[in-house]
């Protein structure tokens, strides 16, 4: 055997070994032998037609990338399949490299989060600049992109803005935004339903994968292992990976070292808490988008007294809008002072899912127990969906637990409910007012 060819193939195996599990490597790759390299074509020997078909179906991308990196651009692959071992007969077949058919994809992006309404300041300028570069050239710059910062500083807004911009510039790309929690739920479901291969094939078909709150899979070894192989497959094929976390990669306790290493391959950017000037600009932007007029002294007062997160600032604006609309209160410093005080007290008071169900049911005049029936009456469905939305917003509960408690539904139903209510609140002013009234009643209970 040509020693130079074997050395090249050993380099190929090193790359493959780093991107598949030991079991997979030993079963499918360890026994492959390089036979020759002629006319820019590498011929490898495999034991059977079954092995050839399996490699072509599941690992064609990894093999293609590896040959390009080690053997050079344009390298073709040929399989020599042992047909009769005793008489040393074999059949040679070309690699097919057929594109995999993929289904239509719901990107799950939050379309209201765009670059246009992402207010820039000192604390987020670098992250925003990097994000726009990634949106313009996904997979070609800063891959992976790892954005971290405290809760509520705008990470989710920024990564959704990337996804929305990519869909606008590159409509042919498959973009998926998903929380790490939902990824974990999907992985678990795939194991229970024995559809793990479908789960992996789906994620390997994504062009831009955005995972929010990646810290939520810390300590979940099997979920991390699945994500590791998805990460490797996408990265090897030049697909864009974007992750957010409430802490930097080095602070992710319970995360496998091999994942942390990969998180640091691209660029890590931190979004800090907004400074006073940025908080003012965020408030001005929010009130302008909602068609409201807040006196400058009110904006200054809120910005000076609410410094935790963007989410808290927007919550104050929503509450003031609701009080002004429902109670005809004047938007002034006294109202701002009262609401900020009420919210501070609310944060200290625990809220329960039973409380949410009762408040929503009372508001719509529906018996609380009706949400646990199979009724499809409009008012019952609305109560169920609003309760799910508020439970997701205010409680530290998984979507699965929320679904079990509200109507004995699954996590997918809860996610659908949250998306439905979010969209409705954005497009229907009357419904948005109703939702505000329910939230105020919760906060003042």
Q: Residue 41: helix, strand or coil by DSSP?
A: strand
Q: Is the pLDDT of residue 445 over 60?
A: no
Q: The tokens of 192 are what? A: 């229970």
Reported as type and span, the H/E element at residue 5 is: helix 3-17
The pLDDT confidence band at residue 101, using thresholds 50, 70 and 90, is very low
43 DSSP β-pair partners? 36, 78
Q: Specify whether the CB–CB gap between 205 and 188 falls below 8 A.
A: no
Tell whether the model's pLDDT for residue 224 goes beyond 90.
yes
DSSP code per residue over 334-352:
HHHHHHHHHHHHHHHS---
Chain CA centroid to CA 191, Å:
20
Q: What is the pLDDT of residue 87?
A: 60
Task: State the pLDDT confidence band at 97, using cuts at 50, 70 and 90.
Answer: low
C-alpha 15/C-alpha 33 separation (Å) is 16
Burial of 430 (0-12, 13-18, 19+ CB in 10 A): exposed
SS (H, E, C) 209-237: EEEECHHHHCCCHHHHHHHHHHHHHHHHC
d(CA 118, CA 89): 65
- Summarised one tens digit per residue, pLDDT across range 175-186 is 999 999 889 889
Q: Is the pLDDT of residue 162 over 90?
A: yes
Residue extents of the structural domains in the chain: 3-94, 125-270, 276-347, 350-443
SS3 444: coil
List of residues 6+ apart from 271 with CB closer than 8 A: 123, 124, 127, 147, 148, 149, 153, 154, 155, 158
Span of 88-97, 172-181, 272-281, 344-353 with lowest mean pLDDT: 344-353
* Topology of the domain covering 125-270: Rossmann fold (3.40.50)
- What CATH number does domain 3-94 carry, 2.30.140.10, 3.30.300.180, 3.90.480.20, 2.60.120.330? 3.30.300.180
**What is the structure's pLDDT at 419?**
86
3-state secondary structure of 51: helix
Contact 155, 145 (CB under 8 A): no
The third-level CATH classification (topology) of the domain covering 276-347 is Helicase, Ruva Protein; domain 3 (1.10.8)
**350-443 placed in CATH 1.10.1750.10:** yes
Evaluate whether 426 touches 419 at the Cβ level (below 8 Å): no
Task: Encode pLDDT of 378-423 as tens digits.
Answer: 888 999 999 999 988 888 777 888 988 898 888 888 888 888 888 8
State the Cα–Cα distance between residues 437 and 360, nearest whole angstrom.
10
Pairing outcome for strands 240-245 and 145-148:
parallel
- Digit-coded pLDDT (tens) for 227-259: 999 999 899 888 999 999 989 999 998 999 999
């Amino acid at each position: 055997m040509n020693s130079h060819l074997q050395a090249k193939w050993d380099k190929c195996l090193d790359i493959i070994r780093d991107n598949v599990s030991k079991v997979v490597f030993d079963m499918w790759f360890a026994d492959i032998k390089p036979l020759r390299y002629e006319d820019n074509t590498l011929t490898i020997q495999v034991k059977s037609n079954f092995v050839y078909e399996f490699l072509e179906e599941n690992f064609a991308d990894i093999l293609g990338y590896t040959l390009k990196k080690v053997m050079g651009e344009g390298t073709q692959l040929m399989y020599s399949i042992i047909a009769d071992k005793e008489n040393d007969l074999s059949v040679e077949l070309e690699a097919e490299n057929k594109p995999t058919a993929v289904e239509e994809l719901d990107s799950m992006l939050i379309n209201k989060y765009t670059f246009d309404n992402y207010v820039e300041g000192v604390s987020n300028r670098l992250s925003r600049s990097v994000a726009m570069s990634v949106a313009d050239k996904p997979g070609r710059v800063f891959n992976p992109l790892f954005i971290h910062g405290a809760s509520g500083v705008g990470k989710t807004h920024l990564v959704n803005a990337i996804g929305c911009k990519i869909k606008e510039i590159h409509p042919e790309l498959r973009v998926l935004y998903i929380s790490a929690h939902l990824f974990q739920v999907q992985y678990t479901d795939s194991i229970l339903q024995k559809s793990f291969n479908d789960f992996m094939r789906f994620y390997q078909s994504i062009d831009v994968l955005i995972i929010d709150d990646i810290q939520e899979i810390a300590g979940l070894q099997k979920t991390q292992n699945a994500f590791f192989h998805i990460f490797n497959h996408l990265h090897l094929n030049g697909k864009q990976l974007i992750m957010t976390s409430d802490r930097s990669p080095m602070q992710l306790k319970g995360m496998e070292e091999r994942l942390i290493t990969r998180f640091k391959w691209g660029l890590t950017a931190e979004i800090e808490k907004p400074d006073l000037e940025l908080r003012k600009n965020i408030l001005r932007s929010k009130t302008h988008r909602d068609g409201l007029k807040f006196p400058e002294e009110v904006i200054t007062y809120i910005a000076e007294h609410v410094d935790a997160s963007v989410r808290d600032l927007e919550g104050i604006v929503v509450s003031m809008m609701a009080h002004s609309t429902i109670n005809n209160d004047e938007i002034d410093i006294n109202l701002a002072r009262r609401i900020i005080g009420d919210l501070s007290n609310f944060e200290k008071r625990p809220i329960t899912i039973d409380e949410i169900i009762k408040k929503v049911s009372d508001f719509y005049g529906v018996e609380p127990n009706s949400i646990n029936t199979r009724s499809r009456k409009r008012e019952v469905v609305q109560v169920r969906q609003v309760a799910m939305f508020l439970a997701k917003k205010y409680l530290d509960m998984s979507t699965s637990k929320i679904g079990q408690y509200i109507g004995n539904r699954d996590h997918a139903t809860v996610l659908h409910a949250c998306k439905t209510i979010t969209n409705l609140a954005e497009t229907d002013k009357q419904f948005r007012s109703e939702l505000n009234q329910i939230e105020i009643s919760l906060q003042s209970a």
